[in-house]
């Protein structure tokens, strides 16, 4: 049997944040749960919810933390350790303001670009060697504060595109674990919606 992969979607807990840009990663995990007909359940002794699924021959552990974004690393690392999943079979799905809205990037390792959720994951694993699916939410217009921007919902005119983006990020994540990094990058890495 193939080795299990852990897919964690970063976000903040609670209804207030459910549809915000910062929760794009968490939305991907929700979509994957829907697709596989599974429900996230509380993980014992860890501030996380998880569900088991399978894509083809590959077992998946879908994870969302119940902590805020900047504390998401320790629960994800705890779940990975409990299940003997090494960092090189961990995929962190997250929003990225340094990518234009609609862009997608699948990558392995590298810098956190100051993303608090990623910083927390790197610190908890003591390693940068995990996969990331980066979801471009774009930078705020004008002088708007980036924190206020990521904690606000997608604008009504963006919602249709955002739904496509989250769906594509879910597909990219599954391609990564079933086909490998190069294939997922070839098929899904792209610029933003406004890039023509």
Per-residue pLDDT tens digits for 81-102: 999 999 999 999 999 999 999 9
Distance CA 156, CA 82 (A): 41
Query: What does pTM read for this prediction?
Result: 0.96
Residue found under tokens 């699916």: 133
Q: What is the pLDDT of residues 50-78, one digit of tens each?
A: 999 999 999 999 999 999 999 999 999 99
Residue 54: Cβ within 10 Å count = 13
Give all domains of the chain, ordered by start, each with its CATH number.
Answer: 5-195 (3.40.50.1470)
Provide the pLDDT for residue 195.
54
Angle, CA 54 vertex, CA 20 and CA 164 arms, to 5°? 35
Provide the pLDDT for residue 196.
42
Of 99, 104, 88, nearest in space to 165 by CA: 104
Burial class (CB in 10 A: 0-12, 13-18, 19+), 63: buried
Provide the pLDDT for residue 144.
86
Distance CA 117, CA 72 (A): 6
Q: What tokens were used for 104?
A: 């997608």
What is each CA distance from 95 to 37, 54, 118, 146, 165, in whole angstroms?
24, 24, 10, 12, 11
Q: Which residues are catalytic?
A: 22
- Within its chain, how far is the Cα of 10 from the centroid? 5
Of 134, 5, 20, nearest in space to 60 by CA: 5
Which regions in the chain score pLDDT beneath 70?
A: 1, 194-196
**E strand or H helix at 73:** helix 73-82
């Amino acid at each position: 049997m193939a080795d299990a992969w852990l897919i964690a979607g970063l976000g903040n807990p609670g209804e207030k944040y459910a549809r915000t840009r910062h929760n794009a990663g968490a939305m991907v995990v929700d979509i994957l749960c829907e697709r596989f007909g599974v429900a996230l359940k509380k993980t014992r002794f860890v501030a996380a919810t998880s569900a088991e699924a399978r894509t083809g021959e590959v077992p998946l552990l879908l994870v969302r933390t119940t902590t805020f974004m900047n504390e998401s690393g320790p629960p994800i690392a705890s779940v990975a350790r409990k299940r003997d999943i090494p960092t090189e079979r961990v995929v962190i799905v997250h929003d990225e303001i340094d990518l234009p809205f609609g862009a997608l990037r699948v990558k392995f390792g590298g810098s956190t670009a100051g993303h608090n959720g990623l910083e927390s994951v790197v610190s908890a694993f003591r390693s940068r060697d995990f996969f990331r699916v980066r979801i471009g939410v774009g930078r705020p217009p004008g002088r708007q504060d980036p924190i206020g921007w990521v904690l606000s919902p997608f604008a009504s005119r963006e919602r249709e595109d955002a739904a496509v983006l989250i769906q594509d990020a879910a597909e990219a994540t599954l391609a990564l674990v079933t086909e490998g990094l190069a294939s997922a990058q070839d098929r899904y890495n792209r610029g933003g919606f406004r890039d023509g």
